[in-house]
Amino acid sequence: MTQVIDGTKGVLAYFVRQSATSDPGRMSSLYETLPTDIDLLCRMLHQTILHMFWVGESTYGITFGDLRKAGRDICGEFSYETIEERLANVRALDPRPLSEPREVGARTIGCCRDFALMLASILRYQGVPARVRTGIARYFVAPEGPLFEDHYITEVWDEQDARWRQVDAQIDEVQRPAIEHGLDVLDLPAGRFLTGWQLLSGLRDGTIPADQVGFPPVNAGLTYGRNKLFADFVGVTGHELPVHGWWGIGDPRTPEKPGDDRLIDRMIELLQGIDGNDPEALSEALHLTASHERLKRPAGYTPGKYVHPAC
């Protein structure tokens, strides 16, 4: 039976529940003594996760060669789908509490998605509504980088202001020079991060250049926009996938099918409703994710192992 969400309180209660992906499971004891302050939690994550695409002698003082020599399965760690798997890796690398600083070489290897998901997981454990969003960031300013950066962030319910606050848990002091000066990563200004539906809408109306987003030649332009819409949609409905996970309408390697345009239009409408805490929109989105052939997770599906030259 598809879950029916009742009222705004029901929407917020839904985003307190752990998904199969965010649930710490047998590793939940690692969360017991963590602070509740979001800034402190982000600083803890900076000491826990090493962003794979920032590894380098000039950034964190460590190379892929150093990690391989230490026996690390770089792509295996990067590919973890669940927080429970990642926390098991964290404890294996360093059994001390998460609040204890970790050496760079003892941090689990992940990316923006993993910072966002672990923050959401911790906050849900603490009873705070939180959800992972994916789309593009417009605040990375490195000269050699893209104008629109593929990214994941966490949305946290701010009870005092009655709004969803966007938090970029990834940005630490090493990475801060690569973003807009003075940007508050604990409360991103409106429009600096665009969710999947905002990205695809911008591609459709031409306000976002198709040749400046995605990963050509396969996953770029409108195809990339569809992929991010899918990831954002299934993310808020309980499948916060790793960056290489997709199926159905989200698979950039397969052509669109009849009816996809109509489904995409409805997905955009529902995500807009979910952004406004509309319980009917969330209920319908949950139903679609559980039942529609282009959105339902295939039986036995696993994302597999991410492939990268570093491995």
- Per-residue pLDDT tens over the stretch 172-196: 999 999 999 999 999 999 999 999 9
Query: What does the mean pLDDT of the chain come to?
Result: 96
Instruction: Say if residue 217 is preceded by a cis peptide, omega within 30 of 0.
Output: yes
- pLDDT tens column, 95-137: 999 999 999 999 999 999 999 999 999 999 999 999 999 999 9
Do 199 and 133 contact (CB within 8 A), yes or no? no
Mean pLDDT of 257-272: 97
- pLDDT tens column, 35-68: 999 999 999 999 999 999 999 999 999 999 999 9
Do 218 and 253 contact (CB within 8 A), yes or no? yes
Closest Cα to residue 27, out of 86, 99, 111, 77? Answer: 86
pLDDT at residue 203 in the model: 97
Do 213 and 225 contact (CB within 8 A), yes or no? yes
pTM: 0.97
